[in-house]
């Protein structure tokens, strides 16, 4: 058998569930609590520093909604459950006072806050919407009586019970001017030359003297009189001997605005029809303050019910916050035809976001955009013409009956996701999203989980394909295909088809690091991390790994390069902050100590009874198994009496307190928290040709591997040949004979670690384990053995 060797240039490929012989050579069979960084290799994940307590844990059967706010004045985590809302300062860990005004708390009272509540932050205001709340409206009903609502102190006149006559031209000799009530002549003027004022007064008096019950005529100006009609359905007409050009009348409408006189009765309401047969261009005007002004139609005034619309959480900029109803504008002009009710009324709101200066609301199959610059207005501000900044309301075509759930900006347009399809809204050639030109088209048909908002991965969009059916979730990357410019969404989970349990409820991307994280109801004590990296040739890293925890996770979000997790433990909700500090990290300091729930002892007010140290934690340690995972570590660089990097285990617990025997931890830089383990199971090793294809012919007998480690702490290798006992070889972090590794000191070393691994290469199990508080980190791997082919290979 010929001696052979091979190497893995890097170890950042992540987990692969493909058949071992076709996996990428830099992948792994399994990874736990790892982080694959293109700069430094495969290492232990960051730890979760304790950022503060939020509240009691949610009641059984209830879920938690979370949202991060990051602005110049600070970073905050919003937490909602059980109808209560909490604001936590991420930097200080303090929970800010939140005043809930009136009945605002009822809007967020939902058992499944995680699925139903959504958030969008604009400056100091965070909009909160509830997907389970049906939006309603309030109508202002104006009865069939003579008058209706009062606006600005002026009472509106029922257009169906009023008519107006305008004498436009003075009379000639023996000219007739007549006014008809329901086509019956009730007033006539026949005389010699007379002024319009005289004619109008005479006709007005004749109408009042006609004895029509309920009819009253009043002079509005010298030549105009306004007539109050007995009932709806009654009407006024006129006739004159000047081809009907000397008298002009109107009842409830006119064809053009120029048909109106300069005066009428105060509060007179008239519909201007413009193009006949097209009610969309109609508009209403009324006479007030000495002129005609556009207004809302008769019985057409309506407002959105603020109690059912999204509410707002406001930063008062004094350390306090207020959660309250928001004021949403109603219909102020037009009617149901010319200024329709937004289509989200009597439905629920699926999502809200800002796009091109509009608040976009997705509801059912519709995409509704607010007026530009006025996020609270979903009605037209004028019906005299359709303006580019007016709201729009369009339905998705061929949507398979599925509602539109989310939208993101993509490829110079707006990409919308339904459960089964993707739709595109493109602005016009000038980049304007106008109701005059807006259109929507179906562009793709990929499944998309309805409760998980997409996130960005570079310039592309990552979304979840998961229907919570007890299987496994898939992730797709929506992108513009380079060759033909088509929009496609290949899966980024092809190599891990059964890795992420169905039930994904959170997909979060970092804007500082090439990282995506997922949370799933299918395994709520785990987090799935996706490392990716792009260079000029495209994506060169696509790496998956799982993080595990002894506590339940309720939410995730990024603030700069920190991942903020909401964790439930011992009946409380807590915030943990994970710092993705990429780089060699050669300096050994307090930040090098990796412990979850990491706290500095100076924040815990330790007590010393002359023999033992007692520490009070912000949580109760629930059992002895959890206690065994706790550790106190003297930080490197400690200036106190204790030896730097020395570790101490607690010996007992009582509620929130733990005790360390025979040591005084005070006056030292000590870090306390939970340890966690690094786990790496290597792929089987194969002989490969120049194209890295596994050679199936022959037998590769493995003899050993060598790991190149970099600034790494202790670890151990577990080698198990097929049907044989496991051999364990530890690396302690101390190299005998090294001038740099001195007794009583601790440092992170770099070097080469050789491991004997004997057996058939594709059946030997090799696992590398590490336990915090110190990280382990590996850059590459070499292997050697002997190989005997059974045939001569020609290709």
Considering only CA atoms, give the Rg of the chain: 38
33: which DSSP letter?
A: S
Check if the beta carbon of residue 75 is closer than 8 Å to that of residue 565: no
Is the pLDDT at 734 greater than 60? The verdict is: no
Same domain, 733 and 758: yes
Task: State the pLDDT confidence band at 739, using cuts at 50, 70 and 90.
Answer: very low
Task: Please list the helix, strand and coil fractions of the chain in percent, rounded to the nearest 5, in that order.
Answer: 5, 45, 45
The answer to the question of residue 338 being in a domain is no
The answer to the question of residue 466 being in a domain is no
DSSP string over 206-235: HHHHT--TT-EEEESSSSEEEEE-SSTT--
Same domain, 749 and 776: yes
Give the three-class secondary structure for 602.
helix
Same domain, 601 and 702: no
Structure tokens at 593: 């100590």
How confident is the model over 533-562, as a mean pLDDT?
Answer: 92
Domain boundary among 675, 707, 734: 675
Query: What is the reported pLDDT for 470?
Result: 66
d(CA 210, CA 610): 111
| CB contact set of 690 (below 8 Å; sequence gap of 6+) | none
Query: What is the reported pLDDT for 791?
Result: 75
The answer to the question of residue 761 being in a domain is yes
| CB contact set of 606 (below 8 Å; sequence gap of 6+) | 613, 614, 615, 665, 666
Task: State the pLDDT confidence band at 290, using cuts at 50, 70 and 90.
Answer: confident
d(CA 362, CA 405): 6
Task: State the pLDDT confidence band at 227, using cuts at 50, 70 and 90.
Answer: very high
Structure tokens at 264: 């009428």
Check if the beta carbon of residue 416 is closer than 8 Å to that of residue 406: yes
Q: What is the pTM of this model?
A: 0.91
Strand order of the sheet with strand 74-81? 65-71, 74-81, 84-89, 95-96
Query: What is the reported pLDDT for 399?
Result: 66
Same domain, 157 and 278: yes
Calculate the alpha carbon distances from 83 to 87, 114, 115, 116, 451 in Å.
Answer: 14, 12, 14, 12, 20
Is the pLDDT at 741 greater than 60? The verdict is: no
Same domain, 752 and 714: yes
Structure tokens at 667: 């006056």
The answer to the question of residue 639 being in a domain is yes
Q: 309-343: buried (b, 16+ CB within 10 Å) or exposed (e) per residue?
A: bbbbbbbeeeeebebbbbebbbbbbbbeebbbbbb
Same domain, 158 and 224: yes
E strand segments, 90-194:
95-96, 98-100, 117-122, 125-130, 137-139, 147-151, 154-157, 162-167, 175-181, 184-191
Least confident of 25-34, 253-262, 651-660, 784-793: 784-793
- What mean pLDDT value characterizes the chain? 92
d(CA 565, CA 517): 11
Domain that holds residue 227: 147-295
The structural domain count of the chain equals 3
Same domain, 763 and 630: no
- In degrees and rounded to multiples of 5, residue 196 shows phi and psi of -55, -35
Task: State the pLDDT confidence band at 109, using cuts at 50, 70 and 90.
Answer: very high
Least confident of 312-321, 468-477, 650-659, 722-731: 468-477
Same domain, 644 and 733: no
Is the pLDDT at 371 greater than 90? The verdict is: yes
Structure tokens at 271: 């519909």
Query: What is the reported pLDDT for 745?
Result: 60
Task: State the pLDDT confidence band at 170, using cuts at 50, 70 and 90.
Answer: confident
How confident is the model over 247-262, as a mean pLDDT?
Answer: 95
Same domain, 622 and 688: no
Domain boundary among 265, 295, 325: 295
Structure tokens at 18: 């493909």
Same domain, 712 and 690: yes
- Number of Cβ atoms within 10 Å of the Cβ of 704: 15
Calculate the alpha carbon distances from 760 to 20, 159, 287 in Å.
Answer: 14, 95, 96
| CB contact set of 214 (below 8 Å; sequence gap of 6+) | 228, 229, 230, 231
Is the pLDDT at 278 greater than 70? The verdict is: yes
Same domain, 250 and 157: yes
Is the pLDDT at 539 greater than 60? The verdict is: yes
Query: What is the reported pLDDT for 130?
Result: 98
Query: What is the reported pLDDT for 481?
Result: 86
Task: State the pLDDT confidence band at 744, using cuts at 50, 70 and 90.
Answer: low
Calculate the alpha carbon distances from 240 to 224, 263, 284, 754 in Å.
Answer: 15, 21, 28, 114
How confident is the model over 262-277, as a mean pLDDT?
Answer: 92
Is the pLDDT at 180 greater than 80? The verdict is: yes
d(CA 657, CA 615): 5
Give the three-class secondary structure for 498.
coil
Is the pLDDT at 427 greater than 90? The verdict is: no
How confident is the model over 445-455, as a mean pLDDT?
Answer: 93
DSSP string over 507-549: EEE-SSSSEEEEEETTSTTEEEEEEEEEETTEEEEEEEEEEE-
CATH of the domain at 620: 2.40.10
- Number of Cβ atoms within 10 Å of the Cβ of 283: 24
How confident is the model over 758-773, as a mean pLDDT?
Answer: 94
The answer to the question of residue 397 being in a domain is no
Is the pLDDT at 743 greater than 60? The verdict is: no
What is the number of helices (H) and of strands (E) in the chain?
3, 63
How confident is the model over 714-728, as a mean pLDDT?
Answer: 94
DSSP string over 446-490: ----TTS--EEETTEEEEEE---SSSB-EEEEEEE-TTT--EE--
Structure tokens at 544: 């998956």
Query: What is the reported pLDDT for 622?
Result: 95
Segment 55-74, tens digit of pLDDT: 999 999 999 999 999 988 89
Same domain, 152 and 260: yes
Distance of alpha carbon 299 from its chain centroid, rounded? 38
d(CA 618, CA 570): 10
DSSP string over 241-297: TTTT-SEEEESSEESSGGGS-S---TT-EEEE--STT-GGG-EEEEEETTEEEEEBP
Check if the beta carbon of residue 428 is closer than 8 Å to that of residue 449: no
Domain boundary among 675, 692, 725: 675
Query: What is the reported pLDDT for 162?
Result: 96
E strand segments, 686-776:
699-712, 715-720, 727-731, 749-760, 765-771
The answer to the question of residue 243 being in a domain is yes
| CB contact set of 603 (below 8 Å; sequence gap of 6+) | none
d(CA 260, CA 424): 45
d(CA 700, CA 763): 10
d(CA 220, CA 166): 10
Query: What is the reported pLDDT for 736?
Result: 43
The answer to the question of residue 228 being in a domain is yes
Segment 23-59, tens digit of pLDDT: 999 999 999 999 999 888 999 999 999 999 999 999 9
The answer to the question of residue 259 being in a domain is yes
CATH of the domain at 34: 2.60.120.260
């Amino acid at each position: 058998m010929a001696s052979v060797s091979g190497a893995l240039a890097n170890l950042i490929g992540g987990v692969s569930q493909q058949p071992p012989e076709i996996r990428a050579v830099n992948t792994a069979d399994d990874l736990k609590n790892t982080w694959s960084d293109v700069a430094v290799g495969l290492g232990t994940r960051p730890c979760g520093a304790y950022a503060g307590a939020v509240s009691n844990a949610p009641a059984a059967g209830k879920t938690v909604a979370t949202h991060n706010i990051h602005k110049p004045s600070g970073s905050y985590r919003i937490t909602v459950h059980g109808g209560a809302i909490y604001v936590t300062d991420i930097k200080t860990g303090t929970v800010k006072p939140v005043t809930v005004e009136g009945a605002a708390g009822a809007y967020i009272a939902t058992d499944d806050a995680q699925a139903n509540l959504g958030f969008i932050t604009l400056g100091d205001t965070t909009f909160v919407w509830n997907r389970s709340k049906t939006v309603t409206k309030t109508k202002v009903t104006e009865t069939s009586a003579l008058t209706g609502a009062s606006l600005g102190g002026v009472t509106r006149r029922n257009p169906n019970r009023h008519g107006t006559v305008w004498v436009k031209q003075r009379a000639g000799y023996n000219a007739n001017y007549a006014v008809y009530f329901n086509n019956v002549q009730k007033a006539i003027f026949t005389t010699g030359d007379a002024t319009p004022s005289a004619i109008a007064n005479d006709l007005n008096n004749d109408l009042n003297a006609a004895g029509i019950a309920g009819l009253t005529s009043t002079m509005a100006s010298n030549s105009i009189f306004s007539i109050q009609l007995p009932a709806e359905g009654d009407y006024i007409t006129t006739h004159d001997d000047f081809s009907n050009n000397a008298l002009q009348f109107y009842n409830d409408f006119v064809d053009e605005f120029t048909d109106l006189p300069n005066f009428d009765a105060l509060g007179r309401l008239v519909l201007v029809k413009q193009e006949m047969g097209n009610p969309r261009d109609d508009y209403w005007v009324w006479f007030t303050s000495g002129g005609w002004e556009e207004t809302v139609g008769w019985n057409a005034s309506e407002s959105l019910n603020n109690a059912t619309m999204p509410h707002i959480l406001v930063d008062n900029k004094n350390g306090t916050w207020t959660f309250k109803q928001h004021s949403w504008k109603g219909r102020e002009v037009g009617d149901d035809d010319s200024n329709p009710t937004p289509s989200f009324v009597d439905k629920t709101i699926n999502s809200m976001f800002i796009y091109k200066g509009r608040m976009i609301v997705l509801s059912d199959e519709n995409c509704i955009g607010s007026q530009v610059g006025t996020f609270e207005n979903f009605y037209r501000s004028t019906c005299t013409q359709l303006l580019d900044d007016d709201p729009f309301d369009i339905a998705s075509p061929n949507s398979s009956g599925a509602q539109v759930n989310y939208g993101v900006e993509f490829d110079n347009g707006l990409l919308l996701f339904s459960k089964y399809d993707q739709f595109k809204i493109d602005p016009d050639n000038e980049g304007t999203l106008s109701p005059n030109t807006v259109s929507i088209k179906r562009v793709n048909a990929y499944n998309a989980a309805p409760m998980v908002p997409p996130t960005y991965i570079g310039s592309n969009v990552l979304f979840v394909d998961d229907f919570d059916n007890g299987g496994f979730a898939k992730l797709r990357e929506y992108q513009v295909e380079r060759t033909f410019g088509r929009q496609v969404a290949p899966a980024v989970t092809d190599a891990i088809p059964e890795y992420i349990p169905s039930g994904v409820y959170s997909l979060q991307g970092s804007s500082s690091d090439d990282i995506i994280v997922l949370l799933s109801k299918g395994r709520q004590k785990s987090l799935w991390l996706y490392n990716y990296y792009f260079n000029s040739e495209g994506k060169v890293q696509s790496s998956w790994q799982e993080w595990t925890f002894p506590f339940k996770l309720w939410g995730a979000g990024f603030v700069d390069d920190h991942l903020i997790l909401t964790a439930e433990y011992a009946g409380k909700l807590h915030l943990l902050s994970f710092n993705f500090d990429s780089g060699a990290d050669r300096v050994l300091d307090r930040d090098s100590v990796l412990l979850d729930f990491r706290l500095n002892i100076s924040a815990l007010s330790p007590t010393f009874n002359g023999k033992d140290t007692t520490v009070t934690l912000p949580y109760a340690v629930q059992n002895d198994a959890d206690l065994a995972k706790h550790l106190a570590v003297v930080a490197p660089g400690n200036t106190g009496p204790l030896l730097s990097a020395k570790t101490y285990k607690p010996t007992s617990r009582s509620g929130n307190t733990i005790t360390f025997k025979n040591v005084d931890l005070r006056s030292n830089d000590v870090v306390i928290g939970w340890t966690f383990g690094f786990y790496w199971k290597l792929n089987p090793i194969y002989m490969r040709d120049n194209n890295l294809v596994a050679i199936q012919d022959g037998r590769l007998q493995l003899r050993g591997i060598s790991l190149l480690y970099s600034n790494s702490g202790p670890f151990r290798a577990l080698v198990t040949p097929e049907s044989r006992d496991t051999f364990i070889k530890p690396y302690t972090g101390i190299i005998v004979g090294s001038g740099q590794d001195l007794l009583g000191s601790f440092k992170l070393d770099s070097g080469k670690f050789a491991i004997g691994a004997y057996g058939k290469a594709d059946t030997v199990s090799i696992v590398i384990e590490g336990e915090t508080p110190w990280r382990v980190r590996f850059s590459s791997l070499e292997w050697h053995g002997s190989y005997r082919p059974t045939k001569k290979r020609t290709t």
